[in-house]
Amino acid sequence: MAQRTVCLCDGKYIGIESIFTVINGQQINIPEKLKELRAKSQNNELYCPCGCGANLILVAGDRNLREQHFRLKDATFESECHVVTEGKTSVNSKIVLKCWLDDKLQTGDVETRVPISHIGNTDRKYEFSFLSRAKKVAVSYSHERVNLSDEKFDILQANSDGIKLIYIVDIMNSGSNGQYPEALMKIQDRQGFCLLLDVEEASYTDAKMYAVFYAQDNDGLWKEIRFAEGPLSDFAIAENGSLMYKNGELSSLLAVKSNSFEKALQEELLWREEEKKRREEELKQRQEAAERRRIELLKQQEEAEKERRAEMKRREDDFRKNMADNFTQQHTQVRDAEDNRWIKCEYCGLIAKENEFTSYGGTNHVNLGTCKSCSSKPSSERISMVVTPEVESRPMQIKYDASVCPECGGKLREKNGQYGSFIGCSNYPKCRYTRKIRKGY
């Protein structure tokens, strides 16, 4: 924090910035002002601004001095002091702005820290940071957003008495990050734009100014748009109080930039609409292409299925056509195109799948068996209708011998098993022919 930067003299507040001015672009102290304030301090006419009654001395004029300020006199003072110190950046900004106003107005009457009560009919404790009565121009400088209240602006405006009021804030308040800049919008609503002051030290020649306005983009985010920026000395105040940047009015530059921003928003909206249509068309084309591929795949699958069925039918037809010949041999199982095994009943001649038979297979009977119908008949009623190639040269046995195994020719015997009595081949385990014993027969 800076030292005391304000004193109270003759009922007025005098800021340390009042001792600075600019001559031919060079920032200097005002000799007359230094002498005046030193004389008043010697006469104990400079007081602490907090109202404690302590006398102050001006510390200024030395070029090697780090900070120009007011300090307490060495004499002891009993009253408690409540002075509020001011930030260094705020003090440097006011020094720079005092030099700027002297440089641009050329009136020599710029007052600092003028209470609003000296201008209007109010006792509120707000003040103009600077005032030129000759040009009827006042500046309200704020270092922090907390000082940007509607009440302050309304009172300054209501009591300006025809004075052109210029609002300037420190650069630290810039930026929005997409958020609504509530404090700075209070200035924009009154001035049309915001002025951001950027200072490093109390140097008028190094100070910069940015003229900006705030607006929402197409996504609803708030943007800070600069439309004039450069050294503070490039900004000026016209005779009518209008702010100028180089040779153009800020209001005109604002209109151009605002129109350009709006145009860019409209172009972006059109581009987004075109991009949306393009993406929708692209999506539609991809979906149509995918549908065509799906239909083509279905067609291919249908064609392949038709071909498969046709091939199965051809094989089935060939199988059925040659079925009679297939059963003349008893060495290889007869299977169709779907690998189903077919059997021929050696009694009734039925040709069917294996699940229609109670028994089948065996030596010289690979493709022969007993169907369920014949199996249910008494053995005396079964008549063999099949002659195997191996026994073709022997006389056909017309009567069925129930005691002979139909698969291997071995003797059949009654046996006991887990599920009761049954008929089995004596050649077991080489031959596994079995049949149930039917009651009543």
Per-residue pLDDT of the chain in tens (441 residues, 90 and over written 9): 456 889 889 888 889 999 999 888 788 888 999 999 999 988 999 998 888 888 898 888 766 566 788 888 875 555 677 777 888 899 999 999 999 999 999 999 999 998 888 777 777 778 899 999 999 999 999 998 888 888 888 888 888 878 999 999 999 999 878 999 999 999 999 999 999 999 988 899 999 999 999 999 999 999 999 999 999 999 999 998 899 999 899 999 999 999 999 999 999 999 999 999 999 999 999 999 999 999 999 999 999 999 988 988 887 777 777 777 778 888 888 888 788 899 999 888 888 899 999 999 888 888 999 999 898 888 777 777 655 554 444 444 444 566 788 787 788 888 888 778 888 888 888 888 888 876 543
Q: Are 34 and 19 in contact (CB under 8 A)?
A: yes
What residues contact residue 58 under an 8 Å CB cut-off, 6+ apart?
7, 19, 34, 37, 38, 41, 46, 70
- How far apart are alpha carbons 95 and 88 in whole angstroms? 11
431 phi and psi, to 5 degrees?
A: -120, 130
Whether the CB-CB separation of 237 and 252 falls below 8 Å is answered with no
> Which residue type occupies 321?
K
Check residue 430 and give its pLDDT.
81
Those residues with Cβ within 8 angstroms of residue 345's Cβ, 6 or more apart along the chain or in another chain: 351, 352, 357, 368, 369, 370, 371, 373, 374
- Count CB-CB contacts under 10 A for residue 384: 19
The predicted structure's pLDDT at residue 387: 54
Judge contact between 41 and 58, C-beta under 8 A.
yes
pLDDT of residue 235: 97
Residue by residue, DSSP assigns 285-347 as HHHHHHHHHHHHHHHHHHHHHHHHHHHHHHHHHHHHHTHHHHTT--SS-EE-TT--EEEEETT
CB 168 within 8 A of CB 136: no
Residues 6+ apart with CB under 8 A from 142: 148, 167, 168, 169, 170, 173
Comparing CA positions, the residue from 200, 198, 126, 203 lying closest to residue 169 is 198
How far is it, in rounded angstroms, from Cα 121 to Cα 149? Answer: 20
Task: Give the C-alpha separation, 347 to 292, whole Å.
Answer: 58
Alpha-carbon radius of gyration of the chain: 57
Helix (H) or strand (E) holding 36: helix 31-42
Buried b (16+ CB within 10 A) or exposed e, 30-53: beebeebbeebbeeeebbbbbeee
What's the CA gap between 7 and 55, in Å, rounded?
9
Peptide bond into 389 cis (omega under 30): no
Give the pLDDT score at 441. Answer: 39
Q: What is the pLDDT of residue 314?
A: 84
Q: What is the pLDDT of residue 66?
A: 66
- Amino acid identity of residue 120, one-letter, is G
DSSP 239-283: TTS-EEETTEEHHHHHHHHHHHHHHHHHHHHHHHHHHHHHHHHHH
Torsion of CA 231, 132, 2, 43, to 10 degrees: 140
Beta strands in 61-107 (DSSP E): 69-72
Determine which helix (DSSP H) or strand (DSSP E) holds 115, and give its type and residue range: strand 111-115
Is-contact 37 29, C-beta < 8 A?
no
Give the Cα separation of 19 and 386 in Å (integer). Answer: 137
